[in-house]
Amino acid sequence: MPRIALALCTVLFPLPAGAQVVMDHLLGKYATTDDGCQSGAPPEFEIRRGVIEGPKLLCILGATQPTDTGTEAYEPKCTQGTKVHLGKVTFDLSAKPDHIRISLPPEQDWIALYPCK
């Protein structure tokens, strides 16, 4: 019965071509220092499905964007303080196994994020 329900939902409610992909591999809390939140300081960033939160930052992620190998990119609406930025959020997943890098709009430098342990 669940397969029939899933097939019916797929037919009745198809996803748009630019639908957001599952981000399960990125979900979690992150620090910008390589101690992985061991210093007792609270995590600086949190990535949830479709959302990135950081210091004075809230990004709502939308459709995926084409990228190079080893990266993922999304159309965001990012609010930093009182400013709203559109553009592209890019995740570099190829840097090292112990961290990822993220670039936020407007075209900023890469920020290294280490998963909290």
Q: Where would I find the H helices in 2-100?
A: 2-12
Which of 17-31, 50-64, 92-106 has the highest average model confidence (pLDDT)? 50-64
Give the model's confidence band at 43: pLDDT under 50 very low, under 70 low, under 90 confident, else very high: confident
Mean pLDDT rounded to a whole number for the chain = 79
Give the model confidence (pLDDT) of 65-109 as tens digits: 888 888 899 999 999 989 999 999 999 988 677 899 999 988 778
Q: Identify the residue with better confidence: 7 or 26.
A: 26
Alpha carbon 79 to its chain centroid, in Å, reads 14
- Which residue ranges make up each domain of the chain? 17-115
* Predicted local confidence at residue 6, as pLDDT: 34
pTM for the model stands at 0.74
Q: Identify the residue with better confidence: 117 or 99.
A: 99
Burial 57-75 (b: 16+ CB within 10 A, else e): eebebbeebeeeeebbbbb
